[in-house]
Chain A
Amino acid sequence: MKRFIYKINPVVFFLALIVITGAVAKPQANQNSIHGKISGTVLDNKTGRPLYGANIVINETVLGTASNQTGLYTIENIQPGQYDVTAMMIGYERMAEQIRVLPGQTTELNFSLTPTVIEQPNLIVTASKRKQLIENTPVSVEVVGRRQIQNRSVTQLDEVLQNTAGFGVTDGQIDLRGSTGFSWAAGSRVLVMLDGHPMITGDGGAINWDIIPVEEVERVEIVKGAGSALYGSNAMAGMINIITRDPSAKPVTRYKMGWGFYDEPAYSGWRWTDRFLTHQLFDLKKLPESPLTFEQFRLSHSRQIGKVGFLLTLGRNRSSGYQQNGNFSSWQAMLKTKIRFAPQKILTILGNWGLNNHGDTIMWQNQESPMTVPPEGLGDWVYYEKGNIQVTFQHAVNKKLGYTLKANIYRNNWQNHFHDNLDWAITDRMATEAQADYLMGRHALTFGSEVTYHYTESAIYSNHQTWDFSVYAEDELKLSPIWTFTFGTRYDYHNIPGISSDRQLSPRLGMVYKPAAGTSLRLSAGRGFRAPSIAEVFANISVSGFHVVPNLELKTAERANSFEIGIRQILLSPSKSKSSLSFSDNPVKWFFDRINPGFLFDAAVFWTEYYNMIEVSLEKEIKFDYLKRARIRGIECRVQGNLFQGFINLNLGYTYLDPVNLEDNEKLHYYAGQTLNYRSRHRLVTSLEFHSGRLTFGWDYRYASRIEEIFPIYLTDERVPMHVMDARLILALGSIQIGIEGKNIRNYHYTLRQRFLEPVRSYRLTLKGEF
C-alpha cells in the first residue's frame, strides 16, 4: 500500500504561529479605570535586601507575578474587592496579607520575608500544569534550585540532576525510579521540558542535554510517577521541567570560564596516551603537548527595553575527552524574549540552537585497554545540530480565568561519520497546545488540547511522520483546608499514516491530606503511556557489527498503571533563636539551640505495572519488541536539611527498586521473575555543603548497586557497583565566584552499559561573575 506523506513546512508553521500570536496578543483598551493594582516590594527581613524572583500570588485567583531585581512587583488588572495575597520564595517563610483593591487605584503592599532553614520552593508549575503549592501535589516532587546548579561546575544539566533521589543517567537517557535502565537512545519514559515545552527529539525520543544553557536555569522540577493524564506520551514515569531565568529588569552581563583536565586511570596499563597532564607534569623532561583537557566559556546579557525583556546567551565547550573518540566541540546559543503586552498578558519567545561535533565510542576495544576503541573505529564522529523555537502566550482574563497558548518547533539534524556507517536524519517536531485554568468555588479546573506532528527524513528510518491529537481535563477539589482531591483524564490519538493508529485514555486520581502544619500525606494512582518512537519502529542500521532492524508490529503504546503513597514532613527546630540555657539546665534544648536543625523528610512507596513495555530483543538481529508484563515497585526516602544556622546543608536520597519481568519471553531473553535489564536495586545520593563566610565546601556521593541483568551480550563481563564522589571548594568575592572541583575524586572505574568506561577523575577550575 502506498503511503501518502504530506510534510508540514516548519517555516510556514512558524509564520502562522506569529500571525496567530500577534492577533491574540493585541493590547486591549486600558481597563485601569475600573480595575485596580497591587504594587510593592519584597525584602529579606534580616538583611533588608530586595528579593529577586519572589512569587506574589493573589489567593483563590489565577493572578500573580514575580519580583524584579530591585524587589519590586506589580499586579495589574485586578477587579475591586478584598483579597488574600501571599508572597513566597525558595528559602523563605511564606507571608500572607489581606488587602482591599479599589477601582483605578494602586494599593501598596510590601513584604518582608523571614529566611527559613528549609530550602524548598513553595510554588511549582509542573505537577498540575499550573502554579500549585508544593505540599498540595499528590505525587512526589523534587526541585533542584539555582544555587544547587550554580555551585557545581558542570557543562550539562544532567550532571547536576543525577544527584537527586532515584535519578540515573545512562548515555544521556534518564532512568527515573528504574523506568528505563538503558534504552539504546530510543524512547524516553520521562518527559523532559524546557519552560513547559517538550524537549524530546522527534525521531529517537532522546534528550539533548547540550542544548540547555545550564547557567541560565532558574530551577528544575522533577515530578515522579505517571503524568500522562496531563502530558500524554513519554510522561509515563515522570516529568522534568527545566525552567530558565527570566530576563532582568536592569542590564546584567554574566560570564563563566572554565578549564580542566582528566587524570590518568588508576592502572598504568590503561594509560592509552602520554597526553594525560598529570603524567606529563611528573615527566619534567617533556613539556605538555596537547594534553587531555576541556574548556568552557559562556557569556550572557540580559536587559529590559520598555515592555520587552531579553536574555541572550552564547556558550562554547570543547574537550579532548578522556578516552579515544571522547572528544567534542560544541556551540550553544539561546535568546529568550519576554513581552508584557498588557496587564496579565505575557508573550515569551525562546529560541535555542546547538551544534555538537563529537567523537563516538560504541564499545571499548577490550578490558585490558578500555579507553581505546577498535582500530577501525578510531576517528568515528557525529555531526549533530539542533534548534528549537518555542512560543508561550499567557493571559489572565480575569481573576478566575486564565489561558495559555503554546507552540514549538524542534529540529534535529545529525549524521554519522563512522568507518562503516554514514547514516543521517533530519527530524522536525511541531506542537501546539491550548490550555485554560478556571477557578470555580472549591474547584480548580485545568483543561486543554494538544496537537503534535513529527516528520523525519533519514537514511536510517526512511521518511516517516506521526500525528498526535489529545484533549485533557483535571479538577483539583479543595474539600477543606486539609483535604484536597484531584481527578483528571486525557485522551490521546496517535497515528502513523498508513502504518498504525492507537488511542489511549489516561486517567489520574490524587488525594492530599494535611493533618497538621508541615505534614502532608499524599496518594495517587494513574495510567501512563508512551507511543513507540520513530526509531523503535523504523530504525534500520548496521554499525560496528550491530544490526538493528525495523519492527512494524509496534503498533500500540506501552502502558503503565502507577500507584504511590507518600508523606512529606517538615521538622523545624523548637526554638528559632539561641537561648541562654546551659547544658545542665536542659540538655535537649541546649543541643537543639546549637544545631538549629531544619529538615524536610519525604518518603514514598510506589508501584507500577507495565504492559507491552518496549525493550530490545535479540535473535538474529536487534529489534525493539514488547515485553508483555513487568512491574517496578520500591520505596524512596529523601531528607533535606540544614544545621548550625546554615553552616551545613544536607541532601540525602535513597531508592530501593524491585524491577521484575512477569512473563516468559524467549525473544527478549527474559524469564518470569527476572530482574529488568540495567536496573540497580539500590541507589543512594548524598550531598553536603559547608558554608563559612566567603567559602563553601561541597561534597557529593552517588552509589548504585551492581546492575544485575543486562542485554544478553558480553554476559561474562565484569560489572561493579557505582561509587562516585565529587568535591568542590568555592570562593565568593562579591559578584565573582572562583571554584575548584574534583569529579570522581576516588578515580573509581565503572560501566553503566556494556563496554563503555564512565569518566575518570578530572579537575576543574571555574571563574564566573556578573556586572
Chain B
Amino acid sequence: MIRIFILLLLTALLLSCYQGNGLSPTSPQDEETGISGHITFIGEWPDSTREVQVAVFKNYPQGITNTDSLLVFVISAFLGGELFLSDTIPMFSTEYDYSIPLEPDTYAWVLVIWYPDIINYREGVKELGAYYADPEDMDVPSPVRVMPGVMAPDIDITADFSRINRELPFFRVREEH
C-alpha cells in the first residue's frame, strides 16, 4: 500500500513540474543583416554635385570602357535587383557613418558614387572610392561577404573627389578567393 501511495505521490509531483511551452511564435526583432562602415571624404565637394551615395553591386563591371556602357551596367543592375543604395549623404560632409541592409550573399563592389547635377549629366556617374580590405593593396576593390544575421562592420571607404576627373576604364577584376 505504501508503495502505491509513493508511486502516485511522485507521479503527481513529477507531472506538476509544468514550465509552459518554452519558445512561442512571438517573433523577435530580426537582427539586421547587411554592411556598415565609415566614409572619409577627401577634397572639396564640387558645385556640380547632385547627390552622393554608397552603392553596393553584386557584380563588378567587367570590360567597360565608356560612360554609356557603365550607365547600362548600373541601370541593368538596378532593374535586376543587383544594386543597393544607401540614403543620400548630406552635402559637404567630411565624414559619414552608413549602413545598408542586404541579403546574405557576396557583393563584388562597394563604392561611393557621385551623381552630377542635371546640367553636367553627360559626365556620368563617377566612383569616389571603393572598399579595399587591405588599404595597402588598392589594385581592385574587395568583395564583401554578408552572413545571415550579421551587420558586417568596418566596410570603410575613403571618398576622394579628385577621382571625378578620372577616365574609364576602371580596374581589372581580381578573382574571388
Contact = CB atoms under 8 A, between A and B. Distances in A.
A367 B27 contact: yes
B25 A713 contact: no
A648 B11 CA distance: 12
A230 B39 CA distance: 56
B165 interface: no
B31 A547 contact: no
Interface stretch (B13-21, B53-61, B112-120): B13-21
Contacts of B50: none
A746 B149 contact: no
A697 B145 contact: no
A707 to B, nearest CB: 13
Contact of A545 (B7, B17, B148): B148
A746 B146 contact: no
Nearest to A751: B23
Nearest to A363: B148
- Residue from A545, A621, A746 whose CB has the most chain B CB atoms within 10 Å: A545
A545 B104 contact: yes
Contact of A712 (B2, B20, B104, B150): B150
Output the residue of B7, B23, B104, B106 with the most chain A CB within 10 A.
Answer: B23
A151 B158 CA distance: 67
A618 interface: yes
B144 A620 contact: yes
Interface string B1-16: 0110011001100100
Contact of B24 (A267, A366, A622, A692): A267
Nearest to A720: B22
B20 to A, nearest CB: 8
Interface in A738-757: 746-751, 754, 757
Contacts of B104: 544-546
Contacts of B25: 267, 269-270, 367-368
Given A644-B3, A713-B31, A716-B28, A370 B148 contact: no
Contacts of B18: 746
Contacts of A720: 22-23
A697 B19 contact: no
A750 B20 CA distance: 11
Given A720-B22, A746-B19, A622 B148 contact: no
Contacts, number: 104
A723 interface: yes
B68 interface: no
A239 to B, nearest CB: 33
A403 to B, nearest CB: 50
A545 B147 contact: yes
Contacts of A618: 147, 150
A511 to B, nearest CB: 40
B146 A545 contact: yes
Contacts of B152: 620
Contacts of B164: none
A368 B29 CA distance: 12
Interface string B128-164: 0000010000000000111111101000000000000
B interface, size bucket: 35 or more
A138 B19 CA distance: 38
B22 A749 contact: yes
Contacts of B24: 267, 718, 749
A546 B148 contact: yes
Interface size grouping (class) on chain A: 35 or more
Contacts of A620: 133, 144-145, 152
B105 interface: yes
A515 to B, nearest CB: 35
Contact of B22 (A622, A717, A723): A723
Interface in B40-56: none
Interface in A489-507: none
A4 interface: no
A547 B147 contact: yes
B28 to A, nearest CB: 5
A701 interface: yes
B26 interface: yes
B148 A713 contact: yes
Nearest to A366: B27
A740 to B, nearest CB: 15
B30 interface: yes
B6 A648 contact: yes
A440 B41 CA distance: 80
A363 to B, nearest CB: 7
Interface in B58-106: 103-106
A370 B144 contact: no
Contact of B23 (A366, A701, A716, A757): A757
A370 B23 contact: yes
Contacts of A699: 11, 14
Interface in A349-399: 363, 366-368, 370
Given A269-B25, A367-B28, A545-B147, 20 more contacts: A267-B21, A367-B25, A367-B26, A370-B23, A547-B145, A620-B133, A620-B145, A620-B152, A621-B147, A622-B147, A697-B7, A712-B150, A715-B149, A716-B28, A716-B29, A720-B23, A723-B19, A750-B23, A751-B23, A757-B23
- The 9 tightest CB contacts between A and B, nearest first, are A545-B104, A713-B149, A714-B149, A266-B21, A749-B22, A749-B23, A723-B19, A748-B22, A750-B22
18 contacts: A267-B25, A544-B104, A544-B148, A546-B147, A547-B147, A647-B3, A690-B7, A701-B17, A713-B31, A716-B28, A718-B24, A718-B26, A723-B17, A723-B22, A746-B19, A750-B22, A750-B23, A751-B23
